[in-house]
Amino acid sequence: MPSYANSDLLVTADWLAANLSNPNVRVVDTRGAARYAEGHIPGATNLPVARLDDPTHPIRSMPLPPERMAMVFGNAGLANGQTIVLYDDGPGLMAARLFWVLEYYGHEKLGILDGGLARWLAENHHVTRDPSQVTASTYTPHPHPDRLSSSDDVKAVLGKPGVALLDVRSHEEYTGAMVQAARGGHVPGAKNCDWQTALAGLNIPALKSADELAAQFAAAGVTPDKQVITYCQGGVRAAHSYYVLRLLGYTNVSNYTGSWGDWGNDPNLPVEN
């Protein structure tokens, strides 16, 4: 079975266990503080992804601006040259969101723990309740605007060949049967591929094989030669699909993080049902 083109982005529990003492590896628990306190991978720093959006921005799901993100990352002990390994205790939504944020801010060496905390435990690695000792460091974000799309960016590519708009919400949200904004439906021309279809299992989260995923995306017209823009309701599920596409080797991918919470509430933007 062919492995993922960017298999470095998926870190095995055994590799992580062998590198927990590596000073160049930083493990980040992306869950809330309460769940972190219940038990986390030894040495992991806690960086709740739920709190990394900009409260001053009119679009709710916009990441903190560079100067504030620099402070947050620095206080969590992240440094530019480190290899950062992200995890959560679900199917990887939180880890994927931070993966996208870090790639947007130019971090180059990072990956997600395959199977998250569930597989870590299933493979008999231990966790601790002891808070990790974190030494604050200096982090300098280098934004990559091509990894974040705005509604203007999406509007500018509507109907263009060579661009794939990927709506990763549920079919009900896509069709407008379930409405979570002022209007239901989807961005004209967007194809629907629910983010969960990338998963092979939930009890111990796993992704489908590279071949299966490539076939799914190809069926939706999402091929590596295209510019791909993912979106959902608020940029989290879209970040998971962004991550999967990056794992498969897609290079021209961005997250429309405003997503339907932005597009569906703007009466000036076209909608398709």
Residues at the contact surface with other proteins, assessed by CB under 8 A: 31-35, 48-51, 53-55, 58-61, 90, 93-94, 97, 151, 178-182, 233-237, 258, 261-262, 265-267
Contacts of 130 (CB under 8 A, 6+ apart): 42
Catalytic residue from among 16, 101, 232, 236: 232
Nearer to other proteins, 1 or 34 (CB): 34
Write phi, then psi, for 202 (nearest 5 degrees).
-115, -35
* Minimum gap (Å) between residue 40 Cβ and other proteins: 12
Nearer to other proteins, 48 or 224 (CB): 48
Residues, the chain, total?
273
Q: Is 155 helix (H, G, I), strand (E, B) or coil?
A: helix
Nearer to other proteins, 40 or 226 (CB): 40
* Minimum gap (Å) between residue 254 Cβ and other proteins: 18
Dist CA 51 CA 229 (whole Å): 24
* Minimum gap (Å) between residue 151 Cβ and other proteins: 7
Dist CA 128 CA 137 (whole Å): 23
Most distant pair of Cα atoms in the chain: their distance = 53
* Minimum gap (Å) between residue 249 Cβ and other proteins: 26
CA dist list (Å): 19 to 84, 116, 124: 11, 16, 16
Give catalytic status of residue 193 as yes or no: no
Q: Are 58 and 49 a contacting pair, CB within 8 Å?
A: no
Nearer to other proteins, 74 or 90 (CB): 90
Q: Are 151 and 266 a contacting pair, CB within 8 Å?
A: yes
One-letter identity of residue 187: V
- Residues marked active site are found at 232
